[in-house]
Amino acid sequence: MKITLITGASSGIGEAFARRLAAEKHDLLLVARSEKALHELCDELMLTHHITAHYMVLDLTEHGADAELWAETEKHKFEVDWLINNAGYGSVGDFSKLDRENELKMIDLNIRSLVALTHRYLGPMRERKSGKIINVSSAAGFQPIPFMATYAATKAFVSSFSEAIAEENAPYGIQVLALCPGSTKTNFFNASGIDRPIQVKGQQTVDDVIETAMKAIAGGRRKVVSGFANKVGAFLGGHAPHFLSSWAMAKALRSKYQGDK
């Protein structure tokens, strides 16, 4: 049975992907830690769209979580046809003062788990000569961001990795997309301990982001930034000398996080 696997589907962009793809008749396997949210979403989507929706409760920062997920898909003979690596979180603050374990767990989720799942499901996709992988990156990945140093670097990794494997796997009929949202109305800021979105004006909705992603998939794209203002920001951030864009980004946050400097 062909299935679309979405990580971080209990809220935000992942939930919106689940809703959109269920409406397009994808059968789903949803992953996150919040059992109640996953259970309720699966029930609703099955009832509304007459699809099959499974869920698995997993903490993807745990080493070995990818093996557990793989075992589950093997047990049910699921062929993961679309893989959406979406689960992620961030942090903000003076790096030297941030919680070290939390920074490392962010790398485990935003990078390690994404690489492990991509590696596991690419093999069978290549044998079938079909498959789509959407790796949720960020407009934050186009430049170093002081006071969001680890998060921005994880997303730079996600974009670079995704573009590289997009090229490697194009001859096998597999499309890989790095989806780069800008500031989007979700639980992300709360979950990341950010007291208010850094860019409040012009925040996108999850539906804006999903629309961008679906058009990019249909258009065979490998990387897309969602929203015009975010495209401009990403272009400038990516093309300006990094010492300059870092200085500009830090200007807004230094007084808050290094008030003594």
Ligand X SMILES: NC(=O)c1ccc[n+]([C@@H]2O[C@H](COP(=O)([O-])OP(=O)(O)OC[C@H]3O[C@@H](n4cnc5c(N)ncnc54)[C@H](OP(=O)(O)O)[C@@H]3O)[C@@H](O)[C@H]2O)c1
Query: Known catalytic residues?
Result: 151
Sign of the Cα torsion 242, 245, 248, 251 reads negative
Residue 191 as a binder of ligand X (CB under 6 A): the answer is yes
Could you tell me which stretch among 27-35, 67-75, 211-219, 236-244 binds ligand X (CB under 6 A)?
Answer: 27-35
Question: 132: which DSSP letter?
Answer: E
Query: Per-residue x/- mask for ligand X, residues 139 to 178, rule CB under 6 A?
Result: ----------------------------------------
Contact criterion met (CB below 8 Å) for 54 and 77: no
Residue 10 as a binder of ligand X (CB under 6 A): the answer is yes
What's the min distance (Å) between Cβ of 69 and ligand X? 10
Long-range interactions of 49-53: CB distance < 8 A, separation 24+? 49/22, 49/23, 49/25, 51/22, 51/25, 51/26, 51/27, 52/1, 52/27, 52/28, 53/18, 53/22, 53/27, 53/28, 53/29
- Which one of 44, 59, 163, 208 is in contact with ligand X (CB under 6 A)? 59
- Which one of 13, 18, 28, 117 is in contact with ligand X (CB under 6 A)? 13
Contact criterion met (CB below 8 Å) for 198 and 140: no
Query: Per-residue x/- mask for ligand X, residues 116 to 145, rule CB under 6 A?
Result: --------------------x-x-------
What's the min distance (Å) between Cβ of 154 and ligand X? 8
Angle at 114 between CA 112 and CA 118, to 5 degrees: 120
What's the min distance (Å) between Cβ of 77 and ligand X? 24
What's the min distance (Å) between Cβ of 245 and ligand X? 17
Residue 183 as a binder of ligand X (CB under 6 A): the answer is yes
Residue 33 as a binder of ligand X (CB under 6 A): the answer is yes
| Residue nearest ligand X, CB atom distance | 12
Cα–Cα dist 203/97, whole Å: 28
Reduce the secondary structure of 203-231 to three states and give it as a string: CECHHHHHHHHHHHHHCCCCEEECCHHHH
Residue 87 as a binder of ligand X (CB under 6 A): the answer is yes
Q: Residue 17 has which token pair?
A: 């992907």
Residue 88 as a binder of ligand X (CB under 6 A): the answer is yes
How many C-beta neighbours within 10 Å does residue 58 have? 19
- Which one of 86, 91, 159, 246 is in contact with ligand X (CB under 6 A)? 86
What's the min distance (Å) between Cβ of 7 and ligand X? 6
Angle at 180 between CA 175 and CA 184, to 5 degrees: 135
Cα–Cα dist 230/184, whole Å: 11
What's the min distance (Å) between Cβ of 111 and ligand X? 11
How many C-beta neighbours within 10 Å does residue 70 have? 15
Q: Enumerate binding residues for ligand X (CB under 6 A).
A: 8-14, 32-34, 58-61, 86-90, 109, 136, 138, 181, 183-184, 186-188, 191
